[in-house]
Structure 1
Amino acid sequence: MPKKKLLVLAGDGIGPEVMREAGLVASWLERERGISFDITEDLVGGAAIDAFGTPLRDSTLQSAKAADAILFGSVGGPKWADQPFDNRPEVALLRLRGELDLFANLRPSIAFDPLIDASPIKPEIIRGLDVMIVRESAGGVYFGHPRGIETLEDGSQRGINTEVYTTREIERVARVAFELARKRNNHVTSVEKCNVMESGLLWKQVVTALHEREYPDVTLSHMLADNCAMQLVKKPSQFDVIVTGNLFGDLLSDLASVLPGSLGMLPSATLGARTSDGRLPGLYEPIHGSAPDIAGTGAANPLAQILSFAMLLRYSFDLEEDAALIEAAVAGVLASGLRTADIMSPGMARVGTRVMGEAVLRELDKMVASRIPA
């Protein structure tokens, strides 16, 4: 099996701490499962600003383009608050997505049974939650033109942002959603505001036509964005894959991330188009951010970073069995009662970053051993 080219960008805050635990899982896979990684590490975000004066060097960008996938930690923090707007740590992430044309952001929202009481939603509503939100992440109102702030003749000002989508942009992200649904519960909900926005009407028309042409085997339903927000709280079990534009995806994925009860548990992926040689470029990261207030304390939850690595294995490397193995190990550790501070509850055992990571490795060892005949 050829080596998988993996670029690791740990970033700032708790990024290096949680990335260390994901790296140990990668080492375990090499040792126990025979998966070979060609790993390159580099600085990004605030760490790169401190070292080189820029959040993303051109050489790092070239490494990203040459990699099969990118495992990203987190960037940002108050230390770099005075940086010019175009040199903020977060610019590194935006530039990576833009330069690599990563247009489909995947945000799973999964409720682990051992953490069911951590959710702000009633257990009977949230139990079994497994929703995938596919957010178009390269277009829409965040990137449309015209945009800006202009001064009017009377001296007042006007802010302008433009919602723009083309047929191509809608089709390519909808294809990602349909393909994902085929591997899950075969249901896509397309979300827009076709009742008040022409871009939403085009979105609905294009998704419907693509479904009829290429994915008639997948169940397709349509929902207005405001109703979707309500339904995610009221009855999230009705959803399998939700596909939507950049703005609504931003809002709905944040709402869905609260349902399981902890941001420290949630991974994400941003994917591009499959290349002619079969590669699926992607950037994988936890959604919890750099958490500078706990950086260096050893209290960070590494599970979202580890689960992001599992997503990387599944989507960019087509290693479904290994991804599922890691996810099952995380579930097993939670079932054993171990908790980091962010998911702590009465009667559980509070542990730090390294102990939680070590527990995942022990659970992987147990699971593999149980599959081998005595």
Structure 2
Amino acid sequence: MKNEILILPGDGIGPEVINEAVKVIQLLKKKKLINSVIRYAKIGGNAIEKVGLPLPTDTLKAAKSSRAILLGAVGGKKWDNIKDFKKRPEYGLLKLRKSLKFFANLRNTIFYPQLLSSSIKSEILSNVNIMIVRELSQGIYFGKPRGVVYNEYFLRYGFNSSNLDEKAIRRIGIIAFELAKKRKKQLCSVDKANVIEVSMLWRKIITELSNSYPDVRVTHLYIDNAAMQLILSPNIFDVIVTGNMFGDILSDEAANLTGSIGMLPSASINSIGQGLFEPCHGSAPDIANKGVANPIATILSVSMMLHYSLQKPLLSKFLNVAIINVLKKGFRTADINYTGKNLVSTKEMGNLIIEEFEKLI
């Protein structure tokens, strides 16, 4: 691996939020607190427009040699009519994850009392800090066979397979248990073991792993109950571990706990220390180039990069504090502005966070 950070702006609001996040990296380079080289490449719809592929060979090559990757978002209505999935923007992201063998996705949901913008009562959200650990390399998104065909009645028939092997389950389980050990020592495993064989194997292996972590209290919930409890009683959760599709759903649902998906960062990691860091939100093409997108999730993704890939936990902490300080002062982008006051643009929010961050470092 080279000491490089690869920037993939992507589509829609991706370039806008990435611009603000890159300011953080540039400030750290200027202060000589990191010495990483910044490189840019194309992915998703932007890459399709330029070279006809959602993940160009040059982009994949640069990603494989980088220590960390920062992604904006991919996709948009412009490419929704592409029938071949391998030519769609989203395929570029899935291929990137699979090619670099990112097997664990970490999504940290934190309630910011400064916002009080969630539709859920603040007393329920008090002290909510949930880490969702999602198996990223297998499951229904990658399983085969898959496709759409005509059946014997000449009706269209769609099918996907959910495949998980023991190695993948044990690997993601260990990540989750190790995180739980460093937090509140409680882990909730989410599955659908009452009806799905893949989930039956999942629960069996997680239970076996728990024997090696006697200090971690393990609970098991079916996905439907977990989704309900995440909204009704989020404080019962600390670390959640689950498969690819369930993790995708739960982590997006958890956005409601913060009031906006624009507040949720994400980290995908592999076994050699590389990381893909991205906001949980999509490309939101309807608000692209209007200066209203929230860059905080992307900046928080840089914070996760500092912690997990660049081994700079103190800088990560300072960046988190800088964001909290800006929120305490009342500044808001449109998605988290419920008072009508102190409304700022994407760029202005980025600049405000940079000002606070520079005071701390």
Task: Tell me the TM-score normalized by structure 2.
Answer: 0.94
Residues 316-325 or 180-189, more deviating: 180-189
Matches for 1:175-194 after TM superposition, within 5 Å: 175-194=174-193
Q: Distance in 2 between matches of 1:18 and 1:251?
A: 23
Q: Is the contact made by 1:3 and 1:35 (CA closer than 8 Å) also made in structure 2?
A: no
Which residue of structure 1 lines up, in the alignment, with residue 280 of structure 2? 287
TM-align CA RMSD: 1.8
Which residue of structure 1 lines up, in the alignment, with residue 225 of structure 2? 227
Per-residue deviation at 1:160? 2.8
Q: Helix, strand or coil: the match of 1:133?
A: strand
Per-residue deviation at 1:145? 2.9
**AA at the equivalent of 1:111:** F
Are 1:201 and 2:194 an aligned pair?
no
Q: Which residue of 298, 307, 312 maps to 1:305?
A: 298
Runs of at least 4 residues of structure 1 off by over 6 A?
Answer: none
Residues 51-60 or 93-102, more deviating: 51-60
Q: Distance in 2 between matches of 1:225 and 1:88?
A: 29
Unmatched segments (≥5 aa) in structure 1: 369-374
Per-residue deviation at 1:131? 0.5
Which residue of structure 1 lines up, in the alignment, with residue 137 of structure 2? 138
Per-residue deviation at 1:235? 0.9
Are 1:123 and 2:116 an aligned pair?
no
Q: Helix, strand or coil: the match of 2:254?
A: helix
Unmatched segments (≥5 aa) in structure 2: none
Matches for 1:34-49 after TM superposition, within 5 Å: 34-49=33-48
Per-residue deviation at 1:33? 5.6
After superposition, give the CA deviation of every residue in 1:301-323 in whole Å (9 maximum; x if it has no partner). Answer: 11111001111111112211111
Matches for 1:9-48 after TM superposition, within 5 Å: 9-32=8-31, 34-48=33-47
**AA at the equivalent of 1:363:** E
Which residue of structure 2 lines up, in the alignment, with residue 371 of structure 1? none
Cα 1:43–1:148 shift into 2, 3 Å: closer
**AA at the equivalent of 2:237:** F
Which residue of structure 2 lines up, in the alignment, with residue 367 of structure 1? 360
Q: Is the contact made by 2:333 and 2:343 (CA closer than 8 Å) also made in structure 1?
A: yes
Q: Is the contact made by 2:322 and 2:357 (CA closer than 8 Å) also made in structure 1?
A: yes
Q: Distance in 1 between matches of 2:45 and 2:120?
A: 36
Cα 1:233–1:300 shift into 2, 3 Å: same
Cα 1:155–1:51 shift into 2, 3 Å: closer
Per-residue deviation at 1:282? 1.6
Q: Distance in 1 between matches of 2:256 and 2:236?
A: 17
Task: Tell me the TM-score normalized by structure 1.
Answer: 0.91
Q: Distance in 1 between matches of 2:350 and 2:252?
A: 26
Aligned residues: 360
Q: Is the contact made by 2:255 and 2:263 (CA closer than 8 Å) also made in structure 1?
A: no
Q: Which residue of 313, 331, 335 maps to 2:324?
A: 331
Which residue of structure 2 lines up, in the alignment, with residue 113 of structure 1? 113
Q: Distance in 2 between matches of 1:134 and 1:348?
A: 36
Residues 32-41 or 130-139, more deviating: 32-41
Cα 1:46–1:159 shift into 2, 3 Å: closer
After superposition, give the CA deviation of every residue in 1:254-304 in whole Å (9 maximum; x if it has no partner). Answer: 21122211111111112222x2xxxx1221111221122222222221111
Which residue of structure 2 lines up, in the alignment, with residue 314 of structure 1? 307
Per-residue deviation at 1:3? 7.8
Residues 31-40 or 235-244, more deviating: 31-40
Residues 16-25 or 145-154, more deviating: 145-154
**AA at the equivalent of 2:336:** I
Per-residue deviation at 1:133? 0.9
Residues 2-11 or 178-187, more deviating: 2-11
Cα 1:19–1:157 shift into 2, 3 Å: closer
Q: Distance in 1 between matches of 2:153 and 2:19?
A: 57
After superposition, give the CA deviation of every residue in 1:218-253 in whole Å (9 maximum; x if it has no partner). Answer: 222222221111111111111111001122212211
Which residue of structure 2 lines up, in the alignment, with residue 173 of structure 1? 172
Q: Is the contact made by 1:103 and 1:270 (CA closer than 8 Å) also made in structure 2?
A: yes
Matches for 1:85-96 after TM superposition, within 5 Å: 85=84, 86-96=86-96
Q: Distance in 1 between matches of 2:39 and 2:333?
A: 29
